């Protein structure tokens, strides 16, 4: 026992020394082991959230092939990105990792850009996860209690009203905030539960549909590519004069599409709906599921043996999710009732529809409970990652309100104000983007741009043999001779999806990203450029000043 304690003390000392060399004082408690570090990223990826909530989205565009071919394609390319990030995490094990990586690899402008993209991505990801949980919870309760679809609720009008879903999301957030505020030990324990919940729960769903499912389609059915909605239909809306045309929709407001007006040929392209377009649009289902695995880097300062455990946490969370998610999606698609893709894809809750049509009421309700619990756990993990990123950037005075956001609770050693403020912002975001695919597209684009900037800088510096870059000496988790090609594949794929997920039917994403980009450039040029200096050392005086209870 004494030897074990001594070993732990040696590990803590080494982690603290590694952090000191990077310019930071140990402020957060190191309570997470390798499994807990993996668990937080795996929980945020959550195959029972993204893959399930967007199941109908991919299916309506591309048909079953989006699961049998689209998922593994996105998985392999995402693994390249995860491996590239893991190598850098091994060299720089700090909270808010990506932002610090970009600073060391490219300087303060790159760091500032990475931080804002990452923070916005974290915010939209948390919003997407919890609004998905709210939507699914409403659907699950409706199915379990056999409530009519048109049931009226006070104030909001109906169960499917977006603002009612935001209200339920707010209720869901309260216990998540409290758990994250009360310490990393409790959060880590919950993340461990989440891993088993996802893996065992997913296995139970697969087993029930395999052995007791009433509908099993042919092998060939899994590779069909008949969608039920054309891209033009998905990008269009009906106006007051009863005409239907491509539209930009923001909540209840809609106008004729500026993009289609600027590029009239788009209408013809969308009308013909080439397979490459509909297949690519459907990839949002897989690509949004694979977000949030940077969490392993964000909690590096709370992880033992951070240089290796954070890197493995990033990589393994994607790998395990890829395998488990593929099995789940293949079985769900295999069990589409009577092979009716349209009925499944257009149902408000397609996975619950599959479960209800295949299983007894008890089993179908059990599936709903498993998925609902997984979504809530996913949201809780996402808040932990999001708050650490915001805290890390605020610690270096990188944003308005940094004085408050960087405060650490004196007892729990958690960034309580960062947790509270970012959670409230995630609710406000949903009031703006009243469409689930819009939120998921924004989070996918901003997060992957944040992921790829330090990867690009590392690749550039290696190629030039100048500046800092990962080596066998600096990064124990290393891609060795394969690093440059894996980095390049990652860069090309992120550029592709950034363009793809800004296209209609997610045109709101395009204009939001353009406005966001203009706003950030103006903010940088006229304010932050002269004030922001990048990561700064945190001494014990700063710790005492920033650790008052809120």
Question: Maximum Cα–Cα distance for the chain, whole Å?
Answer: 79
Closest CA to 254 of 239, 242, 267: 239
Q: What is the model's pLDDT at position 537?
A: 57
Residue 371 has pLDDT above 80, yes or no: yes
Q: What is the model's pLDDT at position 322?
A: 96
CB atoms under 10 Å from CB of 173, counted, come to: 22
Q: How far apart are CA 524 and CA 112, in angstroms?
A: 9
- The number of CA neighbours under 13 Å toward the Cβ of 317 is 36
Q: How far apart are CA 55 and CA 504, in angstroms?
A: 19
Banded model confidence at residue 217, pLDDT cuts 50, 70, 90: very high
pTM confidence score: 0.86
Domains of the chain in start order, with CATH, are 32-148+170-230+273-545 (1.20.1740.10)
Residue 302 has pLDDT above 70, yes or no: no
CB atoms under 10 Å from CB of 162, counted, come to: 18
CB atoms under 10 Å from CB of 228, counted, come to: 18
CA 414 to each of CA 171, 298, 544, 549: distance values in angstroms, whole numbers, following the listed order: 22, 13, 14, 10
Task: Evaluate whether 204 touches 364 at the Cβ level (below 8 Å).
Answer: no
CA 18 to each of CA 96, 299, 301, 314: distance values in angstroms, whole numbers, following the listed order: 16, 15, 10, 19
CA dihedral sign of residues 389, 115, 513, 59: negative
> pLDDT for 449-500, tens place per residue?
999 999 999 999 999 999 999 999 888 899 998 999 999 999 999 999 999 9
Q: Counting every residue, how long is the chain?
A: 550
> pLDDT for 27-86, tens place per residue?
444 455 667 778 878 888 989 988 888 898 889 989 999 999 999 999 999 999 999 999
The percentage of the chain sitting over the pLDDT mark of 90, rounded to a whole number, equals 39
Closest CA to 235 of 277, 176, 285: 277
Q: What is the model's pLDDT at position 201?
A: 94
> pLDDT for 201-211, tens place per residue?
999 999 999 99
Task: Evaluate whether 324 touches 50 at the Cβ level (below 8 Å).
Answer: no
Q: What is the model's pLDDT at position 495?
A: 96
Q: What is the model's pLDDT at position 95?
A: 63
Q: What is the model's pLDDT at position 27?
A: 44
Q: How far apart are CA 466 and CA 422, in angstroms?
A: 37
Banded model confidence at residue 154, pLDDT cuts 50, 70, 90: confident
- The number of CA neighbours under 13 Å toward the Cβ of 433 is 28
Higher pLDDT, 279 or 384: 279
Q: Mean pLDDT, the chain, as a whole number?
A: 84
Residue 240 has pLDDT above 70, yes or no: yes
CA 490 to each of CA 78, 243, 276, 293: distance values in angstroms, whole numbers, following the listed order: 8, 42, 20, 15
Q: How far apart are CA 40 and CA 294, in angstroms?
A: 9
Task: Evaluate whether 298 touches 388 at the Cβ level (below 8 Å).
Answer: yes
Point out the least confidently predicted range of 18-22, 189-193, 326-330.
Answer: 18-22
| Torsion angles phi and psi, residue 544, rounded to 5 | -65, -40
> pLDDT for 94-108, tens place per residue?
765 788 889 889 999
Q: Per DSSP, what are the bridge partners of residue 250? A: 253
Closest CA to 371 of 394, 382, 355, 359: 355
Residue 443 has pLDDT above 80, yes or no: yes
Burial of 25 (0-12, 13-18, 19+ CB in 10 A): middle
């Amino acid at each position: 026992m004494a030897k074990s304690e001594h070993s732990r003390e040696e590990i803590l000392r080494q982690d603290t020394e590694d952090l000191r060399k990077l310019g930071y004082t140990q402020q957060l408690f190191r309570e997470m082991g390798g499994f807990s570090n993996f668990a937080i990223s795996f929980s945020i990826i959550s195959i029972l959230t993204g893959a399930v909530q967007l199941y109908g989205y991919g299916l309506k565009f591309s048909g079953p092939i989006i699961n049998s071919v689209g998922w593994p394609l996105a998985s392999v390319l995402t693994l390249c990105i995860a491996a590239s990030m893991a190598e850098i995490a091994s060299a720089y094990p700090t909270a808010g990792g990506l932002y610090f990586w970009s600073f060391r690899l490219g300087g303060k402008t790159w760091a500032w850009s990475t931080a804002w993209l990452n923070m916005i991505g974290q915010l939209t990801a948390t919003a997407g996860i919890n609004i998905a949980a709210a939507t699914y919870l409403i659907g699950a309760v409706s199915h379990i209690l056999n409530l009519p679809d048109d049931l009226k609720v006070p104030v909001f009008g109906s169960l499917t009203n977006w603002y009612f879903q935001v209200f339920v999301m707010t209720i869901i957030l309260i216990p998540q905030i409290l758990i994250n505020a009360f310490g990393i030990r409790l959060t880590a324990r919950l993340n461990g539960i989440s891993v088993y919940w996802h893996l065992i729960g997913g296995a139970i769903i697969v087993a029930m549909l395999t052995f007791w499912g009433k509908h099993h389609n042919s092998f060939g059915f899994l590779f069909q590519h008949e969608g039920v909605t054309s891209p033009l239909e998905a990008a269009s809306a009906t106006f007051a004069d009863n005409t239907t045309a491509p539209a930009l929709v923001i909540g209840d407001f809609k106008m004729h599409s500026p993009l289609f007006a600027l590029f009239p040929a788009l209408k013809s392209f969308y009308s013909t709906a080439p397979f490459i377009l509909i297949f690519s649009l459907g990839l949002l289902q897989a690509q949004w599921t694979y977000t949030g695995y940077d969490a392993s880097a964000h909690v590096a300062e709370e992880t033992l043996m951070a240089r290796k455990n954070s890197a493995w946490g990033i990589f393994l969370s994607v790998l395990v999710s890829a395998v488990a998610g593929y099995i789940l999606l293949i079985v769900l698609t295999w069990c589409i009732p009577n092979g009716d893709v349209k009925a499944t894809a257009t149902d408000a809750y397609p996975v619950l529809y599959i479960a209800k049509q295949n299983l007894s009421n008890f089993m179908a309700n059990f599936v709903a409970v498993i998925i609902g619990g997984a979504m809530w756990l996913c949201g809780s993990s996402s808040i932990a990652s999001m708050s650490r990123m915001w805290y890390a950037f605020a610690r270096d005075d990188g944003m308005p309100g940094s004085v408050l956001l960087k405060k650490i609770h004196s007892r729990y050693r958690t960034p309580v104000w960062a947790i509270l403020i970012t959670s409230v912002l995630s609710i406000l975001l949903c009031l703006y983007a009243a469409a689930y695919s819009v939120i998921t597209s924004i989070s996918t684009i901003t997060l992957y741009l944040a992921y790829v900037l330090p990867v690009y800088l590392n690749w550039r510096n290696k190629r030039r043999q100048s500046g800092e870059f990962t080596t066998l000496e600096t990064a124990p988790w290393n891609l060795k001779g394969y690093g440059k090609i894996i980095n390049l594949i990652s860069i090309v794929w992120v550029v592709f999806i950034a363009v793809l997920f800004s296209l209609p039917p997610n045109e709101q994403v395009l204009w939001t990203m353009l406005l966001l980009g203009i706003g950030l450039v103006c903010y940088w040029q006229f304010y932050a450029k002269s004030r922001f200096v990048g990561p700064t050392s945190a001494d014990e005086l700063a710790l005492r000043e920033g650790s008052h209870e809120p």
